[in-house]
Amino acid sequence: MARTSYNTFVSLSKADRNGLNEPEGRAELLQHSRKGDTAKGKQYRRPSDDDYLLLKVTAFLSAVGILWVLAHTNLTQRAPSHQWSGDIEGTSFLDHEKSIGTFSGKSFLRHNIPFIDIPDSLIQDVYYYRWTSIQRNLRYIRAGTGYMCTEFVQPVGYAQAFGSIDAAAGHQIDESRWLRDTFYGDDYIQLYTRGPADALQYTQWILDATSRRAMVTGDSQFFSAQLNDMIRIWHEWDQVFDPAAGLYYYQPVWDAQELSLPGFVADPNGTDWTLRKDGPDTFRPSHNAYMVANARAISRAAVIAHDRFNEHLFSKLADDLEAAMYKRMWAPEQQFFMDIIRPNNPSLTRLTGREQVGLFPYRFGIGLNESYTQPAVDAMFDPEGFLAPYGPTTLEIRDPWFMAVRPDDYCCYWNGMSWPYSTGHTLKSLAEIYRSGTTNVTAEQYYQYLQMYARTQQKNGQPYVAESHYPFLDTWSADGWNHSEHYDHSTNNDDVITGLLGIIPQQGNTLKISPIVPRSWTYFALENLPYHGHLVTVLYDKHGSRYKSGRGLTVFVDGRKVYNGHQKSALIPIPPPIPPNEALINIAANPAGPSQYPTAEATFTNSGDFQYKAIDGVLFYDSIPDNRWTNYGSPNTNDTLTITFARPRNITSVTLALYSDIARGGGVDVPARIEIYGSNGLLVMVNDPSSLLPNDRNELRFGQVETQFVAVNMYRKSSKLWVGICELEVWTPPNLGPVHYAADAYLTGGETKVIFDNTSTTTSNGAVVGGLKSDSNVAFSGIMSNGGWTTAIISYSNAGNTTVEMGIEVNQVPQKRLYLPPSKGKYVDITATIVLASGKNYVSIRGGSDFVDAKLESLSLF
């Protein structure tokens, strides 16, 4: 079959100009006059008259072959990047479909989440909803880089690389560690340890969360491989360490808590808004507890890596910092860990107001003896302390600066509001205190706090989470339209799993079960929990009548009963960890925006939508916030969305996350028919709309083809219904090298982009990267290595008369300067020796010349 260009198939969806009265399925191959791109060895252009005749014949042949295509179409509804071994089976005691029946994206939920059954419908409903909140905030960045977790589903201006914000990254890692597919967490962690995400923007406990996540996945190799990167992140904080105090300081605003007590104390008369909002440099219990936990995580990684020096060094750093916290921050007269304002305070006098951050250290194992824990519990349950109907509050209610109602339209007050971010910390502290056995706190009181949290996470009678909540009013205090919806800034499900239901991950081949449930509960279940690569089901059935699998506590591993006992707690042997399969990569995702490849074009786009959103890596199905391309309002019977790659790619499937809002009173639904075209013509067709899942992924498979574009031509069901796509994904095996194409890299810089050069033969269409200026960065991610010295060969062209200087970084650490001599416009190689880490690496080639025309062709690693 004749090879046809992307520009031809853009026209496929243009309906006959007579409109919707034409017979369904008719599509005209219309000519366009815009000049196409020229590529080496091939002409990617608009069709001539002769081409048009050929294309009519091609279309006819494709139509003749429809029955063959239908016979060979493999339509599945699943998340195509699954890692989980097909040999592992769980149990089916609970009704999974009923639990997720009202949610979109069911294939993700069905495959990934552990299911629960408890006597509290409020907590249970919030639990299932919060998995959809995580699902909405998972963003696929780029092939090789993989997934990250966002905080706002709509990007905010102060976000860092790819929309990342490190403030809640520890919460997000804690929460997502219970997803069955481990690549969500692996990718996100490496975005900080090796990628360009900023781990110094806000205070964070990312390293600690990484350590505790390894106890869930059982993948100690991945964890220990991050050791050098973790140490680098730790030392980035040296600049805010005060040796005299032995503590770290930061402005509260960068502790993710603006308008908190230190700012009001520093600016009592309200004359300096910036000082009041941001706060002065402050030694905070939260930040210093994070650093203690991060140091101990490094020490644990060093143990696995057999690095005794760093094992002992970071253990001592943690111990010294914890000792300084007791010495400086614990206030005997207030029985609490307190803030200390640093400027103009040589004696390090502590503040007198008790803030919720003083409760955070306990969750990290700090202060777990009676003299510290009992006052904390007393404060948590004191109506003049932190206890409120929609609490806990971020500042004690008795404090003169406590604010129960937000006084203006500024979003974020941390001197009284109830913040899920802080509630997640507090619930974990309360669980640690309870299990320490040092206080009079009861399981019923932990349940009270968790139920209070679930009651807070409501809106219009449905589970919902936003930024902050009034402590005494049943309404959110920060909930911006098209901004705060399903805000991922906290944990909830991790608190249900590890706190309430008592799953205590272990480093060895054991699972500790120690629930904190009320004595009155006669049953609870946690089904198909991923743990060390296995599926674990925990059932407690006092009388044996609910699950009919025995009285008391019963545990299944991979579908096989391994334990039954009368007590609610147990220590269960677990088989050795099973490593995950290698995840596929999505070559259609583009985080760089519509000016870079892959590109998205459509024959019609609703004015309120954007075709680029179909490949931006963000996937959710809400009306508001919006995240989709639709042809709503199009006069055509069918329209085409076309994704063009920088170079031809070998593909075997296309996944369409189809949008439908008809159940919400809208006018968009799944198509009546879908045709997918590539460079050689029709790839696959779906002619039965009943086989398509609305608001879910639909994977369409076909035999392997090489194509530079994917054109999805979709037909409307009727004149009153249109079609839409929330995300188009193309999943392929990862590139294991040795050649990595510059055209596939993540490109930044004012003029840096893919261009087509017919003197280059590395790719079939001459795709290279040009516009290499001083601000350029060509970033290759997902480069696999066993670690160690590696020869890097950079293929480049320098058309100027002077040498171009660039630099090569590995995992954000500069390693070599590169000098690219003039090559008279030819592509030549330059060699450098670099050190790669074990696992996936992020290799960046930075710089260029503002005066010389230089191009990059490829990076080869041997």
Q: What is the mean pLDDT of residues 255-261?
A: 98
Is the pLDDT assigned to residue 52 strictly greater than 80? no
Query: pLDDT grade, residue 653 (50/70/90)?
Result: very high
Cis geometry, peptide bond prior to residue 80 (ω within 30 degrees of 0): no
Is the pLDDT assigned to residue 12 strictly greater than 90? no
Distance from chain centroid for Cα 669: 27
Is the pLDDT assigned to residue 266 strictly greater than 50? yes
Q: Nearest Cα to 245, choosing from 278, 205, 291, 276? A: 291
701 and 80 Cβ atoms separated by less than 8 Å: no
Of residues 593 and 67, more confidently modeled: 593
Q: Encode pLDDT of 462-476 as tens digits.
A: 999 999 999 999 999
Q: What is the mean pLDDT of residues 661-685?
A: 97
Residues whose CB falls within 8 Å of the CB of residue 309, separated by 6 or more in sequence, listed in order: 302
Query: pLDDT grade, residue 83 (50/70/90)?
Result: low
Cα dihedral 594→596→600→606 (10° resolution):
10
Read off the tokens for 535. 């599926």
Q: What is the mean pLDDT of residues 223-240?
A: 98
Of residues 83 and 97, more confidently modeled: 97
Query: Three-state SS string across 684-717, please?
Result: EEECCHHHCCCCEEEEEEEEEEEEEEEEEEEECC
Percentage of the chain surpassing pLDDT 90?
89
843 and 779 Cβ atoms separated by less than 8 Å: yes
How much is the pLDDT for 609? 95
Q: What is the mean pLDDT of residues 21-49?
A: 31
Is the pLDDT assigned to residue 178 strictly greater than 90? yes
Is the pLDDT assigned to residue 766 strictly greater than 50? yes
Q: What is the mean pLDDT of residues 652-679?
A: 98
Is the pLDDT assigned to residue 203 strictly greater than 90? yes
How much is the pLDDT for 75? 59
Is the pLDDT assigned to residue 516 strictly greater than 80? yes
Is the pLDDT assigned to residue 6 strictly greater than 80? no
Query: pLDDT grade, residue 88 (50/70/90)?
Result: confident
CB burial of 615-646 (b: ≥16 within 10 Å; e: otherwise) equals bbbbbbbbeebbbbbbbbebebbbbbbbbbbb
State how far the Cα of 725 lies from the Cα of 619, in Å rounded to an integer. 10
How much is the pLDDT for 154? 86
Is the pLDDT assigned to residue 521 strictly greater than 50? yes
Tell me the average pLDDT of the chain: 91
State how far the Cα of 316 lies from the Cα of 319, in Å rounded to an integer. 5
**293 secondary structure, DSSP code:** H
**348 secondary structure, DSSP code:** -
How much is the pLDDT for 492? 98
How much is the pLDDT for 763? 96
**579 secondary structure, DSSP code:** P
Q: Encode pLDDT of 330-388 as tens digits.
A: 999 999 999 999 999 999 999 999 999 999 999 999 999 999 999 999 999 999 999 99
Query: pLDDT grade, residue 821 (50/70/90)?
Result: very high
How much is the pLDDT for 677? 98
Q: Encode pLDDT of 268-279 as tens digits.
A: 999 999 999 999
What is the pTM for the complete model shown? Answer: 0.91
Query: pLDDT grade, residue 86 (50/70/90)?
Result: low
CA distances from 97 to 170, 524, 536, 563 (A): 30, 18, 19, 27
State how far the Cα of 649 lies from the Cα of 680, in Å rounded to an integer. 12
How much is the pLDDT for 71? 35
Of 60-64, 158-162, 547-551, 854-858, give the lowest mean pLDDT range. Answer: 60-64
Query: Three-state SS string across 793-856, please?
Result: EEEEEECCCCCEEEEEEECCEEEEEEEECCCCCCEEEEEEEEEEEEEEEEEEEEECCCCCCEEE
